[in-house]
Amino acid sequence: MRTSLVITLLATLLSRTLLAQDKNPSARFEPEIKAFEEADKKAPPKEGAILFVGASGIKLWKTLEKDFPDHRVINRGFGGSQIADAIHFADRIVIPYKPKTILLQSGGNDINAGKSPEQVAEDFRLFVEKVRGKLPDVRILFMSLQPSPARWSQAEKQKQTNALIKKQIEAGKNMAYIEAYEAFLTADGKPREELFVADKLHHNEAGYKIRTQLVLPFLKGEEEKK
């Protein structure tokens, strides 16, 4: 009887959790967001930093402080996320920091999940709208989607997405597009496999060195020692 009751309760709890996630897909990231908030309570980040936000490409960028020693940087990447998730949690892990610059690197998971390039570009527009509603003067950088061996079949959609977002940025104000697609291709136009870890999706140390070199020119003039 007790075993049956426990199983029933667990099944009910799981059902409610799945239902909540269906209604709010971003809910599955709640533990990571709460962890960021707990870290902020212990050591509140100073205002005016450069905020890196996005999916696993940002989360796994463990060398941010070493790569950008002249800047205060904050890493708020959460793996598996889409731009819609960054929008959903902007009031908790973007806007409160009052950054001077936001670098968003996201969109690949969106395409992988079946979203069209147009939908991803619209989500980027909504992200900018959400953030600028509270931080009208913040500079926004977008690092383009990059090719990978694991998602090579999505290359055309990734390039279409990049083109649409770049067009938005060029028509906007105080924004910049960081071209990071070609840097990860060989001379014959294939992904440079030596820049990826075993999963063929995420970058290794050499890949992050390239990312750093691509971002640095966009931070010139913003040098600020910690």
Average pLDDT over residues 41-56: 96
Rounded to two decimals, what is the model's pTM? 0.87
Residues ≥6 apart with Cβ < 8 Å to 105:
52, 53, 54, 55, 57, 58, 77, 142, 143
Q: 53: which DSSP letter? A: E
What is the distance between the alpha carbons of residues 206 and 124, in angstroms, rounded to a whole number?
Answer: 28
User: Domain 45-219 classified CATH 1.10.8.80?
Assistant: no
157-166 pLDDT tens trace: 999 999 999 9
Amino acid identity, position 180: A
Q: Does the structure show a pLDDT above 70 at 95?
A: yes
Q: Does the structure show a pLDDT above 60 at 22?
A: no
Domain boundaries, the chain: 45-219
Average pLDDT over residues 76-103: 97
Q: Residue 114 burial by CB count (10 A; 0-12/13-18/19+): exposed, middle or buried?
A: exposed
> Going along the chain, which residue ranges are E strands?
50-54, 73-77, 101-105, 139-143, 175-178
Choose between 49 and 7: higher pLDDT. Answer: 49
What is the predicted pLDDT for the residue at 69?
A: 96
Count Cβ neighbours within 10 Å for each residue of 49-69 and write b for 16 or more, e otherwise: bbbbbbbbbbbbbeebeebbe
Tell which residue, 207, 181, 212, has the closest CA to residue 194. Answer: 207
Name the packing angle between helices 117-134 and 155-171 (round to 10°).
Answer: 40
What is the distance between the alpha carbons of residues 208 and 210, in angstroms, rounded to a whole number?
Answer: 5
Amino acid identity, position 205: E
What is the distance between the alpha carbons of residues 81 and 124, in angstroms, rounded to a whole number?
Answer: 13
131-161 pLDDT tens trace: 999 999 999 999 999 999 999 999 999 999 9
